[in-house]
């Protein structure tokens, strides 16, 4: 493997291993420079990042890179275009008088940060966000903000455990308002802190304040990072006040309620609860199914429902784990050429997890649950579905109900036939008909998914 390819693969692994804010702040912009005598040389933007990586992340980066490169290696971080001041720079406390004239270092710093970038992830939009009971209120609030910024809830404070979609909603708001011409910035509290430290170091605090206080929309992730950082909280307090007093929209995300963020100044805490506080809960089973199906389709792959069900049963925690597991299953299938099989998915899921009985969900479902969900999704009455009508739409819906009942319950074919008033041969024909069409008919797959979602949601 080429050294530069090994570093790109290492970044991919670290993106999964590390908290997103940590990866984006410290690792994402590291660039491969050279590999010589067992030493990888990586360049970083400044000495502050170099020092942080050497003290905090060196072992993680080294271990991951050694595993991918398949030999023990050492790492050297170097600063690209380092600035060495003629005189030591002393960082004045936040809130004191502004620095004097702009020195060469400050000019360089300002030039590097002049081009505007809202820092939005193209994959995180309202269209790609799967809405369920666990996140419906947060989604509705985010949409309201994007339609009438600073006129509905200001600030909007979204909180919940890691990996539930808070960051996705912040980016979705940003995309919607950026497209309307608003000046938007997404950042994390950690990046805000680093930007402030850099501006002090380069005597460019005026530029820092201009950047943050002349925004239309400020989206701050992981705001809990400000805990125990008195001077940083002071600066953010003034930034918050400046934007809010100008009628500019602020959206904050945290892994906990403001009242539960320890060592957060009372002035900031009171401002965080000025607007609307909404929480996001772990997705329920039906939402997990929908997320898996949508993410697979976004990657151009069809995910058999029984595999989606298996993953959704195993992974109950957060969306990030759900997507990561799906990626594992799809990648293994592609790389090994095995196809998507239930046995293969079970083997992957059982690695490091307690075995689970997948028959429990099927035992909870009855044929009547399938018939009712099918009738509702196809906008038919129960009497239509179990009656003698030969209407084309009714017949197609009946075929779907038979297929889903056979796949998702423990009922036998004769039992399914009895529930629908059909004989064994008719039931078998209907099942085989749908099974043969699913692989080549995305609309049919979508209909099966929608019926199953409704069914599982009703029985959860």
pLDDT tens for 360-383 read 455 467 888 899 999 988 989 888
Count the Cβ atoms, other than its own, within 10 Å of residue 194: 19
Q: What is the mean pLDDT of residues 427-455?
A: 82
Residue 170, helix vs strand vs coil:
helix
Please, what is the Cα angle at 230 between 189 and 257, to 5 degrees? 55
Say which CATH class 285-356 falls into: mainly alpha
Q: Which CATH number fits domain 3-79: 2.60.120.10, 3.20.19.10, 3.30.300.180, 1.50.10.10?
A: 3.30.300.180
pLDDT in tens, 165-220: 999 999 999 999 998 989 999 999 998 998 898 888 888 888 888 889 889 999 99
Q: What letter does residue 24 receive in the DSSP assignment? A: I
How far is the C-alpha of 313 from the C-alpha of 326, rounded, in Å? 13
Structure pTM?
Answer: 0.54
How far is the C-alpha of 67 from the C-alpha of 71, rounded, in Å? 7
pLDDT in tens, 153-172: 999 999 998 889 999 999 99
CATH 3.40.50.300 fits 136-279, yes or no: yes
Q: Is the pLDDT of residue 115 over 60?
A: no
Q: What is the mean pLDDT of residues 235-249?
A: 93
Nearest to 164 by CA among 273, 248, 281, 76: 281
Which helix (H) or strand (E) element contains residue 33? strand 31-36
With contact defined as beta carbons under 8 Å apart, do 371 and 419 qualify?
yes
Band (pLDDT 50/70/90 cuts) for residue 100 is very low
Straight-line distance from the first to the last Cα atom of the chain, in angstroms, rounded to the nearest whole number: 48
- Residue 48 is predicted with a pLDDT of 66
Q: Regarding the domain delimited by 361-459, which CATH topology (the fold level of the hierarchy) does it fall under?
A: Chromosomal Replication Initiator Protein Dnaa; Chain: A; (1.10.1750)
Q: What does each C-alpha distance from 262 to 221, 246, 274 come to in angstroms?
A: 17, 29, 19
pLDDT in tens, 395-428: 999 999 998 888 788 777 778 888 898 887 788 8
Nearest to 151 by CA among 217, 210, 241: 217
- Residue 90 is predicted with a pLDDT of 32
Q: What letter does residue 219 receive in the DSSP assignment? A: E
Count the Cβ atoms, other than its own, within 10 Å of residue 39: 11
Q: How do the domains of the chain map onto residue ranges?
A: 3-79, 136-279, 285-356, 361-459
Q: What does each C-alpha distance from 101 to 182, 185, 206, 292, 370 come to in angstroms?
A: 31, 27, 11, 55, 74
Residue where the block lists tokens 């083997």: 347
Please, what is the Cα angle at 294 between 289 and 297, to 5 degrees? 130
Q: What is the mean pLDDT of residues 316-322?
A: 79
How far is the C-alpha of 269 from the C-alpha of 265, rounded, in Å? 6
Q: What does each C-alpha distance from 349 to 286, 342, 345, 360, 398 come to in angstroms?
A: 19, 10, 6, 17, 34
**Peptide bond between residue 390 and the one before it cis (omega within 30 degrees of 0):** no
With contact defined as beta carbons under 8 Å apart, do 156 and 252 qualify?
yes
């Amino acid at each position: 493997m080429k050294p530069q390819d090994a570093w790109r693969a290492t970044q991919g692994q670290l993106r999964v291993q590390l908290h997103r804010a940590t990866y984006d702040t410290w690792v994402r912009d590291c660039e491969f420079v050279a590999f010589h005598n067992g030493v990888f040389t990586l360049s970083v933007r400044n000495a502050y990042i170099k020092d942080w990586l050497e003290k905090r992340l060196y072992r993680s980066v080294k271990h991951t890179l050694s595993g991918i490169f398949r030999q023990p290696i050492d790492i050297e971080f170097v600063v690209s275009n380092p600035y060495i001041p003629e005189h030591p720079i002393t960082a004045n406390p936040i809130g004191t008088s502004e620095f004097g004239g702009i020195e060469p270092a400050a000019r360089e710093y300002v030039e590097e940060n002049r081009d505007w970038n809202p820092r939005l992830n193209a994959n995180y939009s309202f269209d790609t966000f799967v809405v369920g009971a666990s996140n419906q209120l947060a989604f509705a609030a985010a949409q309201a903000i994007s339609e009438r910024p600073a006129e509905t809830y200001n600030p909007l404070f979204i909180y919940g455990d890691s990996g539930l979609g808070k960051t996705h909603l912040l980016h979705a708001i940003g995309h919607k308002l950026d497209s309307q011409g608003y000046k938007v910035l997404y950042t994390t509290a950690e990046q805000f802190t680093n930007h402030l430290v850099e501006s002090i170091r380069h005597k460019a605090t005026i530029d820092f304040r201009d950047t943050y206080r002349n925004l239309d929309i400020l989206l701050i992730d992981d705001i809990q990072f400000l805990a125990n950082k008195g001077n940083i909280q002071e600066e953010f307090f003034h930034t918050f006040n400046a934007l809010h007093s100008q009628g500019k929209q602020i959206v904050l995300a945290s892994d906990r309620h403001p009242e539960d963020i320890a060592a957060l100044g009372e002035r900031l805490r009171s401002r965080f609860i000025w607007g609307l506080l909404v929480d996001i809960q772990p997705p329920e089973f039906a939402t997990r199914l929908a997320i898996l199906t949508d993410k697979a389709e976004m990657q151009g792959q069809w995910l058999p429902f029984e595999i989606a069900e298996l993953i959704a049963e195993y992974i109950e925690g957060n969306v990030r784990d759900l997507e990561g597991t799906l990626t594992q299953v799809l990648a293994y299938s592609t790389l090994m050429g095995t196809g998507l099989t239930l046995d293969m998915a079970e083997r992957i899921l059982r690695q490091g997890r307690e075995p689970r009985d997948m028959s429990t969900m099927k035992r909870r479902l009855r044929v009547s649950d399938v018939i009712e969900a099918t009738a509702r999704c196809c906008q038919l009455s129960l009497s239509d579905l179990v009656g003698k009508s030969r209407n084309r739409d009714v017949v197609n819906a009946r075929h779907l109900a038979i297929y889903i009942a056979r796949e998702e319950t423990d009922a036998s074919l004769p039992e399914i036939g009895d529930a629908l008033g059909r004989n064994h041969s008719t039931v078998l024909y209907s099942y085989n008909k749908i099974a043969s069409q699913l692989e080549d008919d995305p609309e049919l797959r979508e209909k099966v998914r929608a019926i199953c979602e409704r069914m599982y949601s009703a029985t959860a």
